[in-house]
Structure 1
Amino acid sequence: MKEIIVEKLKQIETEHEVKILFAVESGSRAWGFPSKDSDYDVRFVYVHRKDWYLSIDQKRDVIEYPINDLLDFSGWDLKKALNLFAKSNPAFLEWLRSPIVYHDDLTISEELRKIGNEILSKKACIYHYLHMARGNYRDYLQGEEVKIKKYFYILRPILACIWIQKYNEIPPILFDELLEMEGLEQEFLEEVGKLLIRKKQGEELDLEPRKKVLNDFIENNIQFFEEYVKGITESNKVNTENLNELFRTTIEHSWEK
């Protein structure tokens, strides 16, 4: 599949006259708990030639394709990506740390990874993950029987919130690594561990009785972070001039190769 993805990325470069700077896997495969039929969520950042940017025209800064044969391709123009990076966009911060990399020329991704924690907005990231957890919890885990696999899609953002609060840094992408942080109760870890083993063995987790230990953990943390995030004050302004210089340098160097 990686060969197919890499070939598609080359086609995208030709079709849109762009250079792809890096391309990674996003979603459940990158998080470490894919289902047997999970899509390949390929996300990438690309750059145009300089003249494309020197224009008064409004131009589309996203490349997207319909899902086809479990392949989902979507990418952002470099300028859009850097603007979102400056705002601590959690999706983009996750792209930069994905453990599954399809292409990376390292000219920009390494630099952004180095400064990611320096520009981190705890408030923006916690709001993002809290919104994700709260919505999925409301939609999938309210009955006596619940879609058991949805626990992963709610626990992961909550664990990310805890990581940010505890360590003041961008949380790991892999679910397993989030579970290694200090302070998680043994009963909770054992319950999650059982589900994780079943998921990794390929078992399709569908409707089952709700897990009280997990629901309690979720409800308590949603309630906590709804109040905690309101009290976060941030005054650090991102040095956009550094990102502007990185933007200009990347445009120049990418087309020399």
Structure 2
Amino acid sequence: MSPTPLTLARAGLPVVDLRPDPADAPGPLVFATVSGAHLYGFPSRDSDVDLRGVHVLPAEALVGLREPEETRTRMWERDGVELDLVTHDLRTFVRLMLRPNGYVLEQLLSPLVVHTSALHTELAALVPGVLTRHHAHHYRGFAGTQWRLYGRTGELKPLLYTFRALLTGIHLMRSGEVLAHLPALLDEVDAPAYLPGLIEAKAEAEHAAATEADGQTVTRDIEALHRVLDEAQERSRLPETATAFDALHDLVVRARLTP
């Protein structure tokens, strides 16, 4: 399936062919999607393109003596655009899905698709069965990491990542939906009114300084969103444990053994 140019262009992606060469993967490519700032809704003019996906290693790669290439990273340039592709073997990716790891779910469900397959569709359909209340810990932890980075650099990028992680976590706890796009989240969760201005400022440069952000105000708002996330987790109707383990196991076995 080819990517939809209009969808990709609206996300601020460059008008180049973003599809990876399937021959470069260590096994059949299940999917490749755009992640990072383009997915989150605040790319800069000089942002590179982060591609994430899944490949399926042949069975013999896992039963022999050689170490399998369960994760592959590749970087290249096409028409002046830097692309970064990271793919995991299906089993590795599914194990990450079964942890409270929102990052891989965002990759799997990204609407910015550059390569897909029937297996991609099957995998995405099982996401509701891996969502739990404990995914709040992932977003809380990621927000904390980015907040500390903002404290060291004063850049807009980690500040927006902090807000995005907290709002995604709150929305997930309340609705059971994984939504990574910050502008869309602003329509779903109460958030500071100055965030659209910060998103606009970030568009000018990948490492722009957060000169328009008042330190005390931002600190107060981040602390408030942490409290909202705590409350949303307590009230969430998401289960304590994942329910899709058996279905995911069967999918991995079938994908591995089907020629």
TM over 0.5, yes or no? yes
Residues 167-206 of structure 1 deviation map (CA, whole Å, 9 limit, x = unaligned)? 2x13212112211115x15xx2x31122223444x36642
Moved more, 231-240 or 243-252: 231-240
On the 8 A contact 1:25/1:100 being kept in 2, the answer is yes
State the TM-score, normalized to the length of structure 2. 0.79
1:60 corresponding residue in structure 2: 69
**Within 5 Å, which residues of 2 pair with 1:174-253?**
174-182=181-189, 184=190, 188=192, 190-200=193-203, 202=204, 205-208=208-211, 210-211=213-214, 212-223=216-227, 225=229, 235-253=240-258
1:9 to 21, 24, 32: 21
Select the structure of larger CA radius of gyration.
Answer: 1
Residues 94-125 of structure 1 deviation map (CA, whole Å, 9 limit, x = unaligned)? 111112111001x22222222212221221x2
Shift of 1:239: 4.1
2:222 aligned partner, one-letter code: I
On the 8 A contact 2:31/2:115 being kept in 1, the answer is yes
Secondary structure at 2:188's aligned position in 1? Answer: coil
2:124 corresponding residue in structure 1: 113
2:141 corresponding residue in structure 1: 131
Secondary structure at 1:208's aligned position in 2? Answer: coil
On the 8 A contact 2:100/2:137 being kept in 1, the answer is no
Residues 64-96 of structure 1 deviation map (CA, whole Å, 9 limit, x = unaligned)? 135766221211001111111222421210111
2:139 aligned partner, one-letter code: Y
Q: Specify whether residues 118 and 239 from structure 1 end up closer, same or farther in structure 2 by C-alpha distance, changes over 3 A only.
A: closer
Shift of 1:128: 1.6
The 2-side partners of 1:77 and 1:159 are apart by 30
The 1-side partners of 2:178 and 2:168 are apart by 6
Q: Specify whether residues 58 and 231 from structure 1 end up closer, same or farther in structure 2 by C-alpha distance, changes over 3 A only.
A: farther
Moved more, 226-235 or 23-32: 226-235
Q: Specify whether residues 46 and 113 from structure 1 end up closer, same or farther in structure 2 by C-alpha distance, changes over 3 A only.
A: same
State the TM-score, normalized to the length of structure 1. 0.79
Does the alignment pair 1:101 with 2:113? yes
The 2-side partners of 1:180 and 1:82 are apart by 31
Shift of 1:43: 0.9
- Structure 2 unaligned blocks of 5 or more: 1-13
Q: Specify whether residues 94 and 161 from structure 1 end up closer, same or farther in structure 2 by C-alpha distance, changes over 3 A only.
A: same
The 2-side partners of 1:155 and 1:97 are apart by 20
1:191 aligned partner, one-letter code: Y
Same amino acid, percent of matched pairs: 21
- Structure 1 unaligned blocks of 5 or more: none
The 1-side partners of 2:157 and 2:104 are apart by 25
Coordinate RMSD, CA, aligned: 3.0
The 2-side partners of 1:56 and 1:151 are apart by 45
2:57 corresponding residue in structure 1: 48
1:164 to 161, 168, 172: 172
The 2-side partners of 1:213 and 1:29 are apart by 26
2:31 corresponding residue in structure 1: 22
1:27 aligned partner, one-letter code: G
Shift of 1:223: 4.9
Q: Specify whether residues 102 and 61 from structure 1 end up closer, same or farther in structure 2 by C-alpha distance, changes over 3 A only.
A: same
Give the aligned length: 240
